[in-house]
Structure 1
Amino acid sequence: MLNDLRRITHNFVQEPNLELALGNLVSDIKACLNTDVCSIYLVEDKQRLLKLQASDGLNPKAVGKTVMRFDEGLTGWVAERGEPIKVHNATNHPRFKQFTDIEEDVYSGFLGVPIMHRRQVLGVISIQQTESRHFEQQEEAFLVTLSAQLASTFANVSIRLRNVGQDSAVDHSGLVLQGVSGASGIGIGHSYLVQTKIEFSDVSLKKVAAPEPEKARYFNAVEKTKADIIQMTQRMAEQLPKDALAIFDVYQQLLDAASLGNEIVDKINQGWCAVSALKIVSEHYVAEFEKMEDPYIRERAVDVKDLSRRLLEYLTVQQGVKPTVPHSAIVIAEEVTASMLAEIPREQIKGIVSLKGAENSHAAIMARALGIPAVMGLRDVPLLSLDDTDIIVDGYSGQVFITPNETIVEEYKKLESEDIAFTDLLKREADEFAQTLCGHRVSLYINSGMGFDSDIAEQQHIEGIGLYRTEYLFMMRQRFPSESEQQSFYQQVLADFEGKPVVMRTLDVGGDKQLPYFPIVEENPFLGWRGIRLTLDHPEIFLVQVRAMIKANLMTNNLHIMLPMICDVGEVDEANRLINQAFNEVRIEVLEADPNAKLIKPKVGIMIEVPSMLFQLDKLKGKVDFCSIGTNDLTQYLLAVDRNNDKVASLYDSYHPTVLAAIKRIADMTKDAGIPCSVCGELAGDPGGAMLLTGMGFTQLSMNTQNVLRVKWVLKKAQLECLEQLVEDVLHCNRPDQVKFRVNRTILNIGAASLLRAGK
């Protein structure tokens, strides 16, 4: 039966029309198991109801109309119990219920299996036989296996059947795809597919006798690609802030000889043709980036692929006539890139849909900077099925509506206008500082890693950088950056934020977040050689970085140094010893050049992200100047969940009561110890999370730039006493959903409903 399983699964996934796919599926199952009837029931959204969505054997007029509760009939019993049920004589069973419109009273043999995805019942597949039939275990196992294989498809490509009126006909056109939000907002328009003309999978490796002509071809392709990027930069200069525009600087850096260029030339010198050399080097870097744990760094694989494809097109002369862009374009691609967006007039882009990618991709960063709604990470969706169709992008829920009916369109047009008004409101209040309704001040900082935030630094309401990820500088090299290179890089960041604190995290790599030139192979990278463990084992790396930071700070004196992945006080002691050593070395150098110079030692703090530190907080007094909670890793380690593993990612939730209790414990203990403590994880950038953290007593939150205005807005509507009561309430909850219900209820009560979704 293995071949039948493969064939049926393949046919279902490849059919773009879900109604046809379901119809073919029930017919294939019926034929394969030699039964009289096969039917599929799907759970109505957020209700304990099953609706008949496809059948081969029952009354076709009942499809899309017959609805049953979980406590009705044998099919409902399958959904209620969440396990397979076999009945050889259904009509005599006490759970049998006759639904006259589907005409199933003539069938006796029954086998039903649930469609389960992440503990949730999505529907039921049932087969029936006219005569009494004892279905065999192999038949049950076949149906269970098929259901398990198709469950993710049902979860990600679901039908939302909406009634226009209470008695009106059902509209089967409303296909809804579920992804993740890349940029909030509502986009209504027509699909514009962007497909790459050639892929590296189409390239065969080939060697040549003469390297010089190949190098000339490569350099010519580089110059043409650089010219493209310059044009993109000029085109977007008036629409993007400098930090977002710096995405194209990254592209230029990748093209430089010091990045990809030297290695490609080396491969050509070894006898490979230009195309083969490009393939070898780019695929190596893509593979290395995709291994990284840090989602921001991991998304740089997309940039390398995008740039390499452009070079490949010039090397293979694949340019052609581009299709006409619709006036209201929803840009769709297997993997939307920043350069794709730069080639389309901004006023024509109404939304973005990327089958791959995440909120940290450059496309998502640009989308947020341009104010374009974006949904990323759709799965099991054939790209061509989205061609030439009307689409709505809901950047709040991560949903994409395909060929929506008029009722849905009108609903989203209203939400779109309300959303625009809300965004304008946020911008009008952009220059104000964050404080609660009762005047309690909360300092908002940003998380950064690219070093292109000078425009943001000028905004007074942003009070500094709470987390600067220095590893990005190391990732963009083919060797460890020198002390002078690091000093120059850090100096620019500190100068941009002169007068405001900049918290620079020391090198945080290791495990599966590898440097291309310093590979580490481990069976369990999340619990491996990473962060401070690596740099303490290699003090020559740590000392060079700290010396560069201290030298960069000479003119501005706004540097704070933060140590990542600290799990015991002994690591703090050793790191402090090395920092003191570096400081004294720099002090001697400075005083030799200028005996009157004054050198101020930067403040030193730690990230609290390893659970063991919860039991050593009282020992930090006198050893650190500050702490910052990294909620991402803290959540991951407390719940033992790999947040990058989609099979368990749903269990990763910073709203888990255990996580919140741990954060509250940190807040209380650091306050008692007199150690300033902030939060720099994703929870701080979530409006509801910011409310909870403020209620716990935190007065400094650091977040991605695009979250600042929303966090500030919700805090301005709340009373501190209300937030403190909310914290007390949620700490008595048992599950994350209970916490979220109370947080959302508070958001509604303070008049901030616009944060929960589009509209008011």
Structure 2
Amino acid sequence: MLNDLRSITHSFVQEPSLEVALASLVTDIKRVLNSECCSVYLAESEQSILRLQATDGLNPDAIGVTTMSFDEGLTGWVAQREEPIKIHNAKRHPRFKNFPDVQEDNFTAFLGVPIIHRRQVLGVITIQQSQARFFDQEEEAFLVTLSAQLASSIANVSVRMKSSSPYIEHENNALVLKGVSGSTGVGIGYSYLVQTEIDLSDVSLRKVPSADIEKTRYFEAVEATRTDIKLMSERMSTHLPPQALAIFDMYLQLLEAASLGNEIVAKINESWCAVSALKIVVERYISEFEKMEDPYIRERAVDVKDLGRRLLKHLTNASSQHKTIPKAAIIIAEEVTASMLAEIPRDQIKGIVSIKGAENSHAAIMARALGIPAVMGLRDVPLLQLDGVDIIVDGYNGQVFISPVEAIVEEYKNLESEDLEFANQLKVEADEVVQTADGKRISLYINSGMGFDGEFAEQEHIEGIGLYRTEYTFMMRQRFPSEQEQQLVYQQVLGDFSEKPVVMRTLDVGGDKQLPYFPIIEDNPFLGWRGIRLTLDHPEIFLVQIRAMIKANVFTDNLHIMLPMISDIGEVDEARRLFNQAYFEVQDELQEADAGAIVPKPKFGVMLEVPSMLFQLKQLKGKVDFCSIGTNDLTQYLLAVDRNNDKVANLYDAYHPTVLNAIKMIADVTNEIGIPCSVCGELAGDPGGAMLLAGMGFTQLSMNTKNLLRVKWVLKKSNSEDLKELADDILNCTRPDQVKFRVNRYILNIGAAGILRAGK
């Protein structure tokens, strides 16, 4: 049945109309399983209601009319229990309920399978038979497999249909897309799509008022594609035999009006935009070719797909070339990168929407560092659906409003105003030192390296840089930066903070941070060649960076060098050897030029983020001058959750008792052996997390600048003994929600509710 599964799934995905796709689906299932009836019920948005959407065997007049709750009938029971149910004689079952409109009196045997996507029931597929019997395991397995394959597509199509349907079920008729919060705040603006490579699967169907404009766009794309193909044919003519060059002639024939052209123009005349028309026609051709038994004809699907991509590229490029960046831009991308943000003036970026990513992905951390509201992980939303529309980014609730009505815009403008008022309120005491209500001193540092502004150095409440991410110096270039280039960058930072400590982390790439000129392709990048592992394997890169840092530190003597991704003491020893080598090289070089030159030796430390180091902490004594906890990766590795994978992002939680107990262990051991330990992960920048860390005994916390004043505000309202009791209490919890409840209760008790929600 594997071929049947593939064929049914492919046909469903290629069909642009949900109504037609479902109608074909029930007919195909009925045929393959040789059943007498097949029906599909879809769940109403955010309600426990099922509505009959397609059937082959029941009364067709009941489609779109008959509804049932999850506690009604056998079909509702399938949705309620979220598992397959098969009944040999449905009418005798206590859960059976007769719905007269569907006219199912002739059917006795019943099999229902839920359609579930990301733990949400989207609907139910049922098959029925007049003869009383149990459907066999093979039939059940087929339906379960098919429903799992279709779930993502049904979720995708449902969102797409809602965006153009007059029967939108969201509040005030606004389409709301749900992701996860990447950075809190409210962003109101106009979408600016930053396109990388897109595919026909990224296209959402859209109709337009003017067919003439779209036909002109299509004809221009055809001419550009025809030129590309002729140039390719000419380039390859000296390398390929004539019979192999025939492929280019076939591409040119497909571009002619008599082939794809007339059908695409016909779809444009039906008011589809040029990109939508291309998608409809090309995907139908692909589907038809792939169903062919002849392998030669079946392979033509690949050619049509390739040609479709080429046409799509010219259609979308033509649109993007004339785009200007809106004054209030909401950046939309498949995956937001540092280079994307660097190309757009900071004051024009009002929000970020990243289709990929999760709460603690690299893109989310960048957004928080820049203080930009962001929503991540909008899975199964066609990218082009978000292009050229008014958008509101609700970074508090992880929501994106598409083309919101005026009432929603006004509501969020008020919220935005309250946020600004609260931020100004926090600035009143900005330059006071941070100490708890009972006088315990806590030092607050910033995480920097991207979007860094020297003016922060003059703000008294910022006591230094607890984490300077040097990788951005590498990521924003087309090659490895030279020693002199690095030295100038580091010198500027150290000079700006000349009276304050600066902790610079050595190159930390790999995982979700890639260099464009040194890509690392791995199956498990977070468990692979990253951080110190890479730089120890390439001492020529490591030594150049350390030398640049030491030279930059000559006049300020405020540098601390920190190693990322340390997993055993051997790495510390080897890195220390190279560090000493670089130091003596620089000392010899500078003293050769000036015999009296004094070269200060930076402090040497490590990041604690790999769980193996929890069991080697005492061995750090005498080897390092300090350490800092990176809670992001420590959480990821302790919980075995890829923080960039939105399918499991809900399992990533730094408030997990396991993570908090590990952090408390580090606090106790480093205190015992006399090594200063700070926290520079995202947990330190969370006001509730900062309170817990202070309660565990940490006196140095580093965070993004946006959260620093919020953390300071709650710490000044807290009592150190109360924080210690709170930290001790939560270490006995078993779930993250229990921890958050206790933390939020404490925040409310000290009158700091403003940090728990949007507004003031």
TM-score when scaled to structure 2?
0.70
Q: 1:681 Cα shift? A: 1.6
Residue matched to 2:8: 5
> Given that residues 338 and 362 in structure 1 are in contact (C-alpha distance below 8 angstroms), is that contact kept between their aligned partners in structure 2?
no
Q: How far apart are the structure 2 equivalents of 1:381 and 1:679?
A: 36
> Given that residues 85 and 113 in structure 1 are in contact (C-alpha distance below 8 angstroms), is that contact kept between their aligned partners in structure 2?
yes
3-state SS of 2:542 partner: helix
User: 1:554 and 2:564 equivalent?
Assistant: no
User: 1:643 and 2:639 equivalent?
Assistant: no
> Given that residues 64 and 170 in structure 1 are in contact (C-alpha distance below 8 angstroms), is that contact kept between their aligned partners in structure 2?
no
Stretch deviating more after TM superposition (351-360 or 736-745)? 351-360
- The count of residues paired between Structure 1 and Structure 2 equals 638
Q: How far apart are the structure 1 equivalents of 2:104 and 2:745?
A: 45
> Given that residues 657 and 730 in structure 2 are in contact (C-alpha distance below 8 angstroms), is that contact kept between their aligned partners in structure 1?
yes
5+ long unaligned stretches in structure 1:
16-20, 161-168, 210-311
Q: Which amino acid aligns with 2:499?
A: G
1:124-523 matches, cutoff 5 A: 124-127=123-126, 129=128, 131-132=130-131, 134=133, 135=135, 137=137, 139-152=139-152, 173-187=173-187, 353-355=353-355, 373-383=373-383, 385-386=385-386, 391-402=391-402, 412=412, 415-450=415-450, 452-477=452-477, 480-509=480-509
Change (3 A) 1:413 1:42: farther
> Given that residues 468 and 503 in structure 1 are in contact (C-alpha distance below 8 angstroms), is that contact kept between their aligned partners in structure 2?
yes
Residue matched to 1:112: 112
Q: 1:384 Cα shift? A: 5.1
3-state SS of 1:600 partner: coil
Q: 1:179 Cα shift? A: 2.6
Q: Which amino acid aligns with 1:687?
A: P
Q: Cα deviations across residues 650-686 of structure 1 (Å, max 9, x unaligned)? A: 3333222211111110011111111110111222222
User: 1:710 and 2:713 equivalent?
Assistant: no
Q: How far apart are the structure 1 equivalents of 2:541 and 2:712?
A: 39
Q: How far apart are the structure 1 equivalents of 2:537 and 2:323?
A: 53
Q: How far apart are the structure 1 equivalents of 2:44 and 2:749?
A: 31
Q: How far apart are the structure 2 equivalents of 1:386 and 1:540?
A: 45
Q: How far apart are the structure 2 equivalents of 1:726 and 1:576?
A: 38
Change (3 A) 1:159 1:752: farther
Q: How far apart are the structure 2 equivalents of 1:735 and 1:90?
A: 42
Q: Which amino acid aligns with 1:40?
A: Y
Stretch deviating more after TM superposition (714-723 or 379-388)? 379-388
> Given that residues 54 and 63 in structure 2 are in contact (C-alpha distance below 8 angstroms), is that contact kept between their aligned partners in structure 1?
no
Change (3 A) 1:513 1:194: closer
Residue matched to 2:614: 614
> Given that residues 159 and 176 in structure 1 are in contact (C-alpha distance below 8 angstroms), is that contact kept between their aligned partners in structure 2?
no
Residue matched to 1:122: 121
3-state SS of 1:604 partner: strand
Q: Which amino acid aligns with 2:70?
A: M
Q: 1:716 Cα shift? A: 3.3
5+ long unaligned stretches in structure 2:
31-35, 161-168, 200-220, 236-312
> Given that residues 157 and 176 in structure 1 are in contact (C-alpha distance below 8 angstroms), is that contact kept between their aligned partners in structure 2?
no
3-state SS of 1:697 partner: coil
> Given that residues 443 and 463 in structure 2 are in contact (C-alpha distance below 8 angstroms), is that contact kept between their aligned partners in structure 1?
yes
Change (3 A) 1:513 1:182: closer
> Given that residues 159 and 381 in structure 2 are in contact (C-alpha distance below 8 angstroms), is that contact kept between their aligned partners in structure 1?
no
Q: 1:601 Cα shift? A: 1.9
TM-score when scaled to structure 1?
0.70
Q: 1:480 Cα shift? A: 4.3
Q: How far apart are the structure 2 equivalents of 1:658 and 1:708?
A: 26
Q: Percent identity?
A: 67
Change (3 A) 1:198 1:128: closer
Q: 1:583 Cα shift? A: 2.7
> Given that residues 360 and 644 in structure 2 are in contact (C-alpha distance below 8 angstroms), is that contact kept between their aligned partners in structure 1?
no
Q: Cα deviations across residues 79-130 of structure 1 (Å, max 9, x unaligned)? A: 4543211123222113335678988788644322223345x24344142548
Residue matched to 1:68: 70
Residue matched to 1:84: 84
Q: How far apart are the structure 1 equivalents of 2:619 and 2:758?
A: 46
User: 1:32 and 2:31 equivalent?
Assistant: no
3-state SS of 2:70 partner: strand
Change (3 A) 1:335 1:523: closer
Q: 1:556 Cα shift? A: 0.2
3-state SS of 2:463 partner: coil
Q: 1:615 Cα shift? A: 1.2
> Given that residues 512 and 520 in structure 1 are in contact (C-alpha distance below 8 angstroms), is that contact kept between their aligned partners in structure 2?
no
Change (3 A) 1:675 1:197: closer
Change (3 A) 1:405 1:549: closer
Residue matched to 2:290: none
Q: 1:532 Cα shift? A: 2.9
1:559-570 matches, cutoff 5 A: 559-570=559-570
Q: Which amino acid aligns with 2:401?
A: F
Residue matched to 1:727: 727
Change (3 A) 1:476 1:338: closer
Q: Which amino acid aligns with 2:630?
A: G
Q: How far apart are the structure 2 equivalents of 1:334 and 1:519?
A: 19
Change (3 A) 1:691 1:90: farther
Stretch deviating more after TM superposition (3-12 or 356-365)? 356-365
Q: Cα deviations across residues 679-709 of structure 1 (Å, max 9, x unaligned)? A: 1122222233222222211121222333323
Q: How far apart are the structure 1 equivalents of 2:526 and 2:142?
A: 37
Change (3 A) 1:566 1:194: closer
> Given that residues 357 and 645 in structure 2 are in contact (C-alpha distance below 8 angstroms), is that contact kept between their aligned partners in structure 1?
no
Q: How far apart are the structure 1 equivalents of 2:337 and 2:537?
A: 38
Q: How far apart are the structure 1 equivalents of 2:50 and 2:121?
A: 11
Q: Which amino acid aligns with 1:67?
A: S
> Given that residues 501 and 559 in structure 1 are in contact (C-alpha distance below 8 angstroms), is that contact kept between their aligned partners in structure 2?
yes
Residue matched to 2:246: none
Larger Rg: 2
